[in-house]
Amino acid sequence: MRIKEKAERFTTADEVREMGIYPYFRPIESDQDTEVIIEGKRVLMMGSNNYLGLTNHPEVKAAAIEAINQYGSGCAGSRFLNGTLRIHIQLEEELAEFTRKEAALLYSTGFQVNQGVISTLIGRDSAVVIDRTDHASIIDGCRLAFGRTVKFEHNNHNALERALVGLNGVNGLIVVDGVFSMEGDIAPLPEIVDLAKRYDCDVMVDDAHAIGVLGPNGRGTAAHFGIEDQVELMMGTFSKSLASIGGFIAGELKVIEYLKHHSRALIFSASPPPASVASARTALKIMLREPERLQRLWDNTHHLWNVLKSIGVDIGRSQTPIVPILIGNDLDAFRVCRRLQDGGIFVNPVITPAVPPGGALIRLSVMSTHTFEQIDRAVCIIDRVLNEFEIERTKKPVTDQLSERVSGSTS
């Protein structure tokens, strides 16, 4: 089949556009804050990974501008050759200290970290064992690896052990999300580490959604459980709490050195630009300097859980600021998303294959900079839209008090 013919057969996006419910590539016309402007209208942003609210912080923006003034707009090459700047090295040292590891290595995106690390470390004599709901970048890293890939049922201790037994002594690397990005639950890392020790495997944790969210000073999932020294590799991104773009892997110095000289995703990719690196460095400093941001994030998270439960919404397995609302049908998820935007909230629909068929959901996420009033207002809008679409609740909604509180705060 020729390329054009293949593309012409894809009509789904056009069909959804004709229905007026296409939910992707919506252009935002303002800064990334608790409220944004879309189609000329101000709406509540309840679909961002900006957990600590730092993307619009004046110090972060000033650092980006200063880096451009000093280093220019780009590096014009890869880290391996001419693209390493002093600030790349500084950030790697700071991330190594932050993660309590010997060394860290920057990549241009978080996706490239997982793709580049897994494909480099998993050879024909080894295997990678992953949770079925791991991020797409982990799956793509496995596809590029020459070794065997084994999947286990989500957060299932017995299924993981069966997978490890099935390796028959082959060197294994267990790779899991620390916080799962669609339903907001946390990997049972102590159990995973115990099994890894028993079956002589290493553990790598994708902490893209855990940095700035879990653990002391937002140090991630292993710190949350107090087992940082028992996890061999920790991966993180800058595009969430660290208010930028890029990613890193942290671990033992020898492993990082091996990746520096073998990881194709690093060697053959352009280096992270100065503004991005400077933004991430500054966001990291603010996060460590202002632990109250993390506390406020969790205050807001608990408040969102409580008010959603008050209207009878089942928040599923959520244990973090990522909160799902089950819708069911894919097209219904698109319709609900559109109605919520019309009502004043930006959220994200999640459909197959990211979730099983019939499991489409609306993904909410909260920031430390949201106010309780904004959260209450969002939930009142959600309540109305769920009623409109007759979405099943776990119990009869009790919203009078919430509605009164919102109306009183906005009158």
What is the residue extent of each domain of the chain?
A: 8-45+291-410, 58-289
Q: How many helices (H) and strands (E) does the chain have?
A: 16, 13
Angle at 277 between CA 271 and CA 278, to 5 degrees: 145
CATH 3.40.640.10 corresponds to the domain 58-289 = yes
Task: Please give the pLDDT value at position 411.
Answer: 39
Task: Show the DSSP H helices in 241-389 as ranges.
Answer: 253-262, 264-267, 274-289, 292-310, 330-343, 372-388
49 CB neighbour count, 10 Å cutoff: 20
pTM, 2 dp: 0.94
Q: What is d(CA 141, CA 395) in angstroms, rounded to the nearest whole number?
A: 42
Q: What is d(CA 98, CA 95) in angstroms, rounded to the nearest whole number?
A: 5
Nearest CA to 263 out of 273, 251, 280, 275 is that of 251
Across the beta sheet with 233-237, the strand order is 103-107, 247-251, 233-237, 202-206, 171-177, 126-131, 148-152
Task: Please give the pLDDT value at position 151.
Answer: 98
How far is residue 336 from each of residues 36, 282, 331, 346, 378, measured CA to CA in Å? 19, 37, 9, 11, 14
Residues 6+ apart with CB under 8 A from 55: 31, 32, 33, 243
Q: What is d(CA 344, CA 16) in angstroms, rounded to the nearest whole number?
A: 21
Catalytic residue list:
181, 209, 240
- What CATH superfamily classification does 8-45+291-410 receive? Aspartate Aminotransferase, domain 1 (3.90.1150.10)
Per-residue pLDDT of the chain (411 residues; tens, 9 = 90+): 899 999 999 999 999 999 999 999 999 999 999 999 999 999 999 999 999 999 999 999 999 999 999 999 999 999 999 999 999 999 999 999 999 999 999 999 999 999 999 999 999 999 999 999 999 999 999 999 999 999 999 999 999 999 999 999 899 999 999 999 999 999 999 999 999 999 999 999 999 999 999 999 999 999 999 999 999 999 999 999 999 999 999 999 999 999 999 999 999 999 999 999 999 999 999 999 999 999 999 999 999 999 999 999 999 999 999 999 999 999 999 999 999 999 999 999 999 888 889 999 999 999 999 999 999 999 999 999 999 999 988 766 655 556 655 655 543
Task: Please give the pLDDT value at position 111.
Answer: 98
6-27 CB burial, b ≥16 within 10 A, e <16: eeeeeeeeeebeeeebbbeeee
Nearest CA to 43 out of 400, 395, 346 is that of 346
Task: Please give the pLDDT value at position 394.
Answer: 79
Task: Please give the pLDDT value at position 50.
Answer: 98
The answer to whether 174 and 145 are in contact (CB under 8 A) is no
